[in-house]
Amino acid sequence: MHLRWLLPSSHDVVRPPPAIGKKRHSCSSTTTQASTTLTMPTNPHGTIILTGANGGLGTSIVSQITTSPSLSLSYHGIYCVRNTNSCPSLNTALTSHSTHSHSKYSLDLSDLASVRDVARDINGQVAAGVIPRIHALVLNAGFEEFTSDTHTADGFDMAFAANYLGHWLMTVLLLESMDRERGRVVWLSSWVHK
C-alpha cells in the first residue's frame, strides 16, 4: 500500500523539515487510551487514525509511516488495536522511531460502547487542540469466521458488527474532527463479502 496521497500535494506549502517541539502534553487517562508519545511537530499536517494496527497490513502501514520522515514527523498517529497490552507487531513497528508522535487505543469494533469511548476521547483531544484534525481515517481492521457464527452482546452478527457497523459508527462520530479540506476516509475491504 502506498501512502503518497498523504504527502503534501504540489498546491501545499512545502515547509522545511519541521522542528520538533519537545512538548509533552499530559493527556487524560481513559480506559481506552493506553499510552501517548506526543512529540508534536510545530506545523503538523494532521492526524492519521488506523484500525487493526497490530495486524499484517496494519503493521505494514505503520512501518511505512514511521520510516518516511515526511509522514512520521508531520503527522500524529492514532493506532487502534483490540488490546494495547498485547500488540507486539505494532510495538515493534514503533519502537525504533521514538520521534513519531502517536497514541495507542484499545478498540473493540464489535462493541459499540468501545467505539463511542474511543471517538469521544479523540474528538475531545482535537477540540482541545492537543492533536491536529484528522487527515486520514484508515479503516483496516477485519474479522472473518468461516466455521462458526458468533454474535455480539447487542445481537449483531460478529463479522457484520466488527467490519461494518463499528467502522461506520466510528466514521460518523469522528466527522466533526476531520480536516474539512483534506480529510479522507479509507476503507479496506475484501472479496469475501461476495
Ligand X SMILES: NC(=O)c1ccc[n+]([C@@H]2O[C@H](COP(=O)([O-])OP(=O)(O)OC[C@H]3O[C@@H](n4cnc5c(N)ncnc54)[C@H](OP(=O)(O)O)[C@@H]3O)[C@@H](O)[C@H]2O)c1
Give the nearer residue to ligand X in terms of CB position, either 46 or 52.
52
Residue type for position 162: A
Grid coordinates representing 86 are: 498485547
Binding mask 48-87 for ligand X (x = CB under 6 A): ---xx-xxxxx-----------------------x-----
Give the nearer residue to ligand X in terms of CB position, either 46 or 166.
166
β-partners of residue 102 are 37, 77
Give the nearer residue to ligand X in terms of CB position, either 89 or 123.
89
Q: How far is the CB of 90 from ligand X (least distance, A)?
A: 9
**Can residue 117 be called a binding residue for ligand X (CB under 6 A)?**
no
Give the footprint of ligand X on residues 14-53 (CB under 6 A). 51-52
CB 19 within 8 A of CB 99: no
Q: How far is the CB of 69 from ligand X (least distance, A)?
A: 25
- Span from 1-9, 118-126, 138-146, 170-178 in contact with ligand X (CB under 6 A): 138-146
φ and ψ at 92, to 5 degrees? -65, -40
Give the nearer residue to ligand X in terms of CB position, either 10 or 190.
190
Please count the other Cβ atoms lying within 10 Å of the Cβ belonging to residue 171. 16
Which residue in 122, 66, 124 sits closest to 91, CA to CA?
A: 66
User: How many Cα atoms occupy the beta-carbon half-sphere of 121 within 13 Å?
Assistant: 23
Task: For the chain, report the end-to-end CA distance as a whole number of angstroms.
Answer: 23
Q: How far is the CB of 47 from ligand X (least distance, A)?
A: 19
